[in-house]
Amino acid sequence: ALGTVSESARAGAERWVASILPGGNAIRSSVPLDVESFRPTFESTPGLQVASPVFELPAVRSVDDGQEEVILAGIDPNVFQDEGALIVVGAARADAYAALRGGGSVLVPASFAARVGVGVGDPLTLGQPGAEATEFVVSGIVEYTIPARTPDGALLISAADARDLFGVTTASLWVMVPQPDIAPTVFASAVRETATQLAAQPLTARELAADLGRSLDRLVGLFDVLALIAVVIGALGIVNTLGIGISERVREIAILRAHGMTVGQVQAMVVAEAAIMGAIAGVLAILTGLAVAYALVNGGASADLGGGFRVPWGLLVAVILVGTGIAALAGLYPARVAAAMPIVRHLKQFE
């Protein structure tokens, strides 16, 4: 279950990063940069098709009992639409972007929409702290959005609205879209050089997804230790079960030995029984784990698992092989005990 949920979460992370980063590359500066002054520097990047600033600004949402902090991000609808960015739900993708281009519209994250209870067509009153608020209309709901310090992430408006309504002229995040014919590695290297000139941080969808995957692996590693302890306990259980079984089958084993079964064959029989137990346990564990993982991934346990149910086939094969192997090793001691039983004494015992 843990491996399947981990694999599905990793797929969700890749899907999330790819959906919010048009072109798969960006540059993040530690301080906001004036768009008009620094645009030539960004546009001088070799292989660049378009450099699109994202205007981020703190804002508040007017509610009945006061105000709620939100983060707005002004994006270029044309760039995001052309690059297939953002997973829009609740409205036609083209209509949502068209409304964003027309102004006065906002795309809200799915978590925000669910928490606040807003849908497509509903109004939202947004403004900067201490300034006059403006009414926006929700033109669409996005599954993932640009990360922000608020739990829901940024609410997306058009770059034109960010400039015209809120007077924002600086941006610390720049989306870098490559030309279609340039190799991803070559363009990523060019983006890193531009970021170095600006003392900024280059971002790529692949690296961000890899970082999220490594963080997930560290978390899963803690549970792997617990799983290893469970495997050891299971191996001891197999030893105990086989020991009891052998003590109840001493006459059967003695008869088999009397009819010519060798010591090695007795040992092989017991080890084979242990291996079969391990294989069956592995299959049952896989079926149970997949059922639990399916419930977690598709049962709404987390929106971050939106990448879908992804089965780690290699891990499933490893579970069966490791379970069979450990069970076989656990059966070695009971096998030696069974092979060392005196034939005559146990045959006389049951006469």
- Is the pLDDT at 305 greater than 50? The verdict is no
Residue 294's SS3 state is helix
Of 140 and 247, the structure prediction assigns the larger pLDDT to 140
- Is the pLDDT at 1 greater than 60? The verdict is no
Residue 34's SS3 state is strand
Cβ(285)–Cβ(323) below 8 Å: yes
The model's pLDDT over 198-209, given as tens digits with 9 standing for 90+, comes to 999 998 877 766
Cβ(314)–Cβ(3) below 8 Å: no
- The whole-number pLDDT of residue 15 equals 66
Give one word for 123, left, alpha or beta, with left for phi > 0 and alpha for psi -120 to 50. Answer: beta
* Range ranked top by mean pLDDT from 124-128, 204-208, 242-246: 124-128
Query: Residues 6 or more apart from 286 whose CB is under 8 A from it?
Result: 316, 319, 320
Supply the pTM of this predicted model. 0.65
Average pLDDT score over residue span 82-90: 88
- The whole-number pLDDT of residue 74 equals 96
Lookup: tokens for 272? 């084979």
- The whole-number pLDDT of residue 341 equals 76
Mean pLDDT of the chain: 84
Q: How far apart are CA 209 and CA 335, in angstroms?
A: 49
Strand 170-178 relative to strand 25-34, pairing: antiparallel
Q: Which of 64-73, 142-151, 214-223, 290-299 has the lowest mean pLDDT?
A: 214-223
Angle, CA 343 vertex, CA 340 and CA 344 arms, to 5°: 140
Q: How far apart are CA 18 and CA 29, in angstroms?
A: 20
Distance from chain centroid for Cα 22: 19
Q: How far apart are CA 80 and CA 140, in angstroms?
A: 14
Query: Residues 6 or more apart from 333 whose CB is under 8 A from it?
Result: 239
Q: Sign of the C-alpha dihedral, residues 260, 262, 265, 266?
A: positive
Query: Residues 6 or more apart from 309 whose CB is under 8 A from it?
Result: 4, 8, 293, 294, 297, 298
Query: Which phi and psi angles does 270 have, rounded to 5°?
Result: -70, -40
Of 144 and 351, the structure prediction assigns the larger pLDDT to 144
Longest Cα–Cα distance in the chain: 102
Closest to 50 measured CA to CA, from 180, 244, 211: 180
**H-type alpha helices, the chain:** 2-20, 35-43, 77-82, 93-102, 110-116, 159-166, 184-197, 205-248, 250-258, 263-298, 313-330, 332-339, 343-349
Share of the chain above pLDDT 90, in %: 40
Cβ(142)–Cβ(88) below 8 Å: yes
b (16+ CB within 10 A) / e for 314-348: eebeebbeebbebbbbbbeebbeebbebeeeebee
Cβ(49)–Cβ(177) below 8 Å: yes
